[in-house]
Structure 1
Amino acid sequence: MNHGEAAYGVWSLVFINSAIFILFAFSFFKPATARDWRSFGAFSAFIVALFVEMYGFPLTIYLISGWLQSKFPNLDLLSHDAGHLWSTLLGDKGNPHLSVLHIASYLFLGIGFYLLSAAWNVLYHAQRRHSLATIGPYAWIRHPQYVAFVLILLGFLLQWPTLLTLAMFPVLLVMYGRLAVTEEREMRKQFGAAYDTYARATPRFIPQFRRTRANLTGR
């Protein structure tokens, strides 16, 4: 049974899904500086590459089709379900949309977009007051927006891995890490000792809940 015609070549879905997720992220991130646009542009490139393979042309399936066919001789390579490679490689026979990894991907996406929204709200008001953002997500980590982007990317990788997005992911991690360091240098110039005090008490990317709770309560 061939599902190739229905599963791929649907470029309208590539455009619609890419536009929805990019615009949704844009509505929360609202890039203003060149640095913001670089980070958002890299995120957008990842999203487009993902949906091109999900609904347009399955490049990853095409490149590894020989190995997949020998490993899974009864697999319909052009079916949409086959694109959920984690389920295929793990030998999951059920609906891939109901797999543990797929459900986990929704959790990562939901948390990522929520964090992006919450961080932008805090940062927006801090910028209007020309003050340092230290509440909400910024009370737990110094760069919640970059962490949000990484969580969203991880969610998509759990759902639909491709060779291109897997290769892009570590590059984006390095990029966001460097942007975070650059941003911190600018914050130190702007806020001086206040930022140093904040940075000593707040982890860069990974929250330390016990330590942060103590800082918030003053204990």
Structure 2
Amino acid sequence: MHDTSAAYGLWLLAAVNSAFFIFFAFTFYKPKTKRDWRSLGAFSAFIVALFSEMYGFPLTIYLLSGWLQSHYPQVNWFSHDAGHLLEMMFGWKVNPHFGPFHLLSFVFIGGGFWIIASGWQVLYRAQRRHTLATTGVYAYVRHPQYVGFMLIMFGFLLQWPTLLTLAMFPVLVYMYTRLAHSEERDSLAEFGLAYRRYMDEVPAFIPKLGAHHGGSTHDSAS
């Protein structure tokens, strides 16, 4: 059965969930530089916007209520379960928390946090040795921690899409891409040809199937 009761205006719950995920990301990412804090700050803004609609005020549902009600009249769009828009629109006959989009979202969110944590461990060891990070997840992509943030945000979009977070997502992807390019300029200035070879062998964000590269890192290669 679906939960048909209204469950909004829960701003304390929105704040607690936002704080939990932001702190969780902080412990995995461990920001140090200004760029790190900008990256975490952008992710935090996305999380706050998400949980504000999930538990506070369902802005997306209100703005789209006319269209949603006319196309899906069988759904109580002001119940909390209806916030799982993809599950509702595809008409899965299960609790939306166990629907395919919701379950798939856990794969992206969990995978994103795993990539961030794995990347930080490699990065930390490389920083202590003052070398390039080219092992572990860095053997497959040059910016695993940014990839992790993108995967987490995409996972939340599958689980609970909103107009605001949908608008924020491409902007944040662009921002992370710009930050990555900035870090690469610093890495090229410090490591020169070694980092240029690493760039030639390892893609920035999307790994090559079957490709593997080994080596060591730098604090800017995040």
Bin the TM-score by the shorter chain: over 0.9
CA distance 1:80–1:182, shift in 2 (3 Å): same
Q: How do residues 67-86 of structure 1 correspond to structure 2 at under 5 angstroms?
A: 67-86=67-86
> 2 CA distance for matches of 1:2 and 1:209?
45
What is the rounded CA distance, in whole Å, between the counterparts of 1:104 and 1:115 in structure 2?
17
Superposition map of 1:101-180 within 5 A: 101-180=101-180
What is the CA distance between 1:209 and its match in structure 2? Answer: 3.1
Question: Secondary structure at 1:209's aligned position in 2?
Answer: coil
Q: Which protein has the bigger helix share?
A: 1
Deviation by residue 1:144-175 (Cα, 9 ceiling, x = unmatched): 00000000001100000000000000101111
Tell me what 1:3 maps to: 5
Change (3 A) 1:209 1:72: closer
* Cα distance in 2 between the residues matched to 1:210 and 1:78: 47
Give per-residue Cα distances to partners, 1:45-79, cap 9 Å, x unaligned.
00000000000100000101111111222321221
1:49 corresponds in structure 2 to 49
Contact 1:142 1:199 in 2 (8 A): yes
Asked whether the 8 Å contact 1:109–1:151 carries over to 2, the reply is yes
Which one-letter code corresponds to 1:186 in the other structure? Answer: D
**How far does residue 177 in structure 1 lie from its aligned partner after superposition?**
0.8
SS of equivalent to 1:74:
coil
Corresponding letter in the other structure for 1:3: S
| Percent of matched pairs sharing the same residue | 60
Please report how far the alpha carbon of residue 95 of structure 1 lies from its aligned counterpart in structure 2 after TM superposition: 0.9
The question of 1:91 aligning with 2:91 is answered yes
Deviation string for 1:95-133 (max 9, x for gaps)? 111111111100111111011100011111111221111
CA distance in 2, matches of 1:109, 1:69: 30
Deviation at 1:92, TM superposition (A): 2.0
The yes-or-no answer on 1:197 pairing with 2:187 is no
**Equivalent residues of 2:141, 2:204 under 8 A apart:** yes
Contact 2:4 2:81 survives alignment (8 Å): no
Task: Give the Cα–Cα distance (whole angstroms) in 2 for the partners of residues 78 and 211 of structure 1.
Answer: 48
Q: TM-score, normalised by structure 2?
A: 0.92
Distance in 1 (CA, whole Å) between partners of 2:167 and 2:12 is 25
* 2:29–2:120 contact (8 Å) kept in structure 1: yes
Instruction: State the distance in 2 between where 1:72 and 1:206 align.
Output: 37
Which aligned segments of 4 or more residues in structure 1 are displaced greater than 4 angstroms? Answer: none
SS of residue in 1 equivalent to 2:161: coil
CA distance in 2, matches of 1:44, 1:128: 28
CA shift, 1:2, in A, is 5.8
What is the RMSD of the two structures over their aligned residues, measured on CA atoms? Answer: 1.5
Q: Counterpart of 1:14?
A: 14
Which segments of 5 or more consecutive residues in structure 1 lack a partner in the other structure?
none
Contact 1:140/1:209 (8 A) holds in 2: no
Flag structure 2 segments of 5+ consecutive residues without an equivalent.
Answer: 215-222
